C-alpha cells in the first residue's frame, strides 16, 4: 500500500507528460509549416475530420483505435504514440533523478522543447527560432530559481555559443548552424557554464559516433543535423552533469 502511494505522484507526472506529449506532436507538424499551434483544431491529416476529445486521449486513443482514423481508417503515424510515451517517460525520469523540485519543472519543459526541436532539425536541418526563445525563457526562470549563481549561468550562456559563433564566422556558416548557436546560448543560461561545456562535449561525441555509423550503414549524406545530438548532451548534463563533474574533479584531486 505504501509503495502504491509512493508511485501516485509519478503516475500523475506520467499522465501530465503524455498530455504535453500530444501537444508536442501538434508542434512537430505545424511549426515547420508555419501554422498556428494554438488556434486550428486538431483534425485527421487524411480526411480532415475534426477530432473529438476521446480521440485525443494521449497514448490510449492511439492504442484503442489501433493507429487508425475513426472515420476514414487512414493510418495515424506511430510517431504520435512514441512522442507521447517518450515525453511521459522523460518527465518521470527527470522527477526521479532530480527530485520533486522546481528545477524539475524547468527540466521537463526543456526536455519537451529539445524533443520537438530534435525531430524538426532531423527532418529539416533547421531549429525553429521560437523553440530557442522558449528555452531562453526557461533559462531566465532557472536564473531566478538559482539567484546565488547568476554569474555561472551568464557565463554558461556565452561560453559555448561564443565559441560556436567564432566557428560560424570563420567557416562562413558551413561548420555550424545559427540555430545550434542559439540553442547553446539558451541552454547555457539554464545549465550554467560547467554543465553546458559537458553537454557540448557529450553532444559532439554522441553525434560523431552515431553519424559515422549512419554514413557506414545507410550511406546518408554528410550533412549533419547537430540539434538532436546537442539535445541529448544537454539532457544528460542537466540530470547527471553535476554528479559526473564532481566525480571527475575528485579524480583530479580538486
Q: Is 42 in the site for Zn ion (CB under 5 A)?
A: no
Quick one: 49 or 211, whose CB is closer to Zn ion?
49
Grid coordinates of 153? 549561468
Quick one: 73 or 214, whose CB is closer to Zn ion?
73
**Which CA distances in Å does 252 have to 242, 244, 246, 247, 249?**
15, 13, 10, 9, 5
Q: How far is the CB of 60 from Zn ion (least distance, A)?
A: 18
CB-based burial, 93-132: b 16+ in 10 Å, e otherwise: bbbeebeeeebbbbbbbbbbbbbbbbbbbeeeebbbeebb
Q: Which residues contact 203 (CB under 8 A, 6 or more apart)?
A: 226, 229, 230, 231, 232, 233, 234
Q: Is 44 in the site for Zn ion (CB under 5 A)?
A: yes
Quick one: 43 or 214, whose CB is closer to Zn ion?
43
Site for Zn ion in 60-89 (CB under 5 A): 69, 71-72, 74
Quick one: 41 or 99, whose CB is closer to Zn ion?
41
Q: Is 45 in the site for Zn ion (CB under 5 A)?
A: no
Q: Which residues contact 158 (CB under 8 A, 6 or more apart)?
A: 185, 188
With CB under 5 A as the contact rule, the residue among 7, 9, 35, 46 that binds Zn ion is: 46
Q: How far is the CB of 72 from Zn ion (least distance, A)?
A: 3
What residues are paired with 75 via a beta bridge?
68
Q: Quick one: which of 252, 248, 228 has its CA closest to 240?
A: 248
Q: How far is the CB of 79 from Zn ion (least distance, A)?
A: 16
Q: Is 181 in the site for Zn ion (CB under 5 A)?
A: no
Q: How far is the CB of 49 from Zn ion (least distance, A)?
A: 5
- How many chain residues touch Zn ion (CB under 5 A)? 7
Under the rule (CB under 5 A), what is the footprint of Zn ion?
44, 46-47, 69, 71-72, 74
Amino acid at each position: 500500500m505504501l509503495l502504491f502511494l509512493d508511485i501516485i505522484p509519478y503516475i500523475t507526472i506520467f499522465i501530465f507528460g503524455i498530455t504535453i506529449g500530444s501537444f508536442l506532436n501538434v508542434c512537430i507538424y505545424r511549426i515547420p509549416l508555419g501554422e498556428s499551434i494554438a488556434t486550428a483544431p486538431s483534425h485527421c491529416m487524411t480526411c480532415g475530420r475534426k477530432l473529438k476529445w476521446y480521440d485525443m486521449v494521449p497514448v490510449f486513443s492511439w492504442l484503442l483505435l489501433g493507429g487508425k482514423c475513426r472515420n476514414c481508417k487512414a493510418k495515424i503515424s506511430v510517431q504520435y504514440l512514441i512522442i507521447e510515451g517518450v515525453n511521459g517517460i522523460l518527465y518521470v525520469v527527470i522527477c526521479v533523478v532530480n527530485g520533486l523540485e522546481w528545477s524539475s519543472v524547468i527540466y521537463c519543459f526543456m526536455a519537451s522543447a529539445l524533443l520537438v526541436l530534435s525531430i524538426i532539425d532531423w527532418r529539416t536541418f533547421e531549429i525553429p527560432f521560437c523553440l530557442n526563445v522558449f528555452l531562453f525563457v526557461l533559462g531566465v526562470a532557472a536564473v531566478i530559481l538559482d539567484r546565488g549563481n547568476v554569474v555561472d549561468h551568464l557565463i554558461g550562456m556565452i561560453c559555448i555559443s561564443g565559441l560556436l559563433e567564432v566557428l560560424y564566422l570563420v567557416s562562413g556558416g558551413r561548420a555550424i548552424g545559427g540555430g545550434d548557436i542559439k540553442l547553446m546560448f539558451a541552454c547555457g543560461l539554464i545549465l550554467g557554464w560547467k554543465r553546458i561545456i559537458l553537454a557540448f562535449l557529450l553532444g559532439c561525441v554522441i553525434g560523431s559516433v552515431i553519424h559515422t555509423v549512419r554514413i557506414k550503414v545507410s550511406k546518408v549524406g554528410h550533412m549533419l543535423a547537430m540539434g538532436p545530438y546537442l539535445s541529448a548532451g544537454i539532457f544528460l548534463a542537466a540530470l547527471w552533469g553535476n554528479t559526473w563533474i564532481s566525480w571527475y574533479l575528485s579524480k583530479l584531486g580538486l
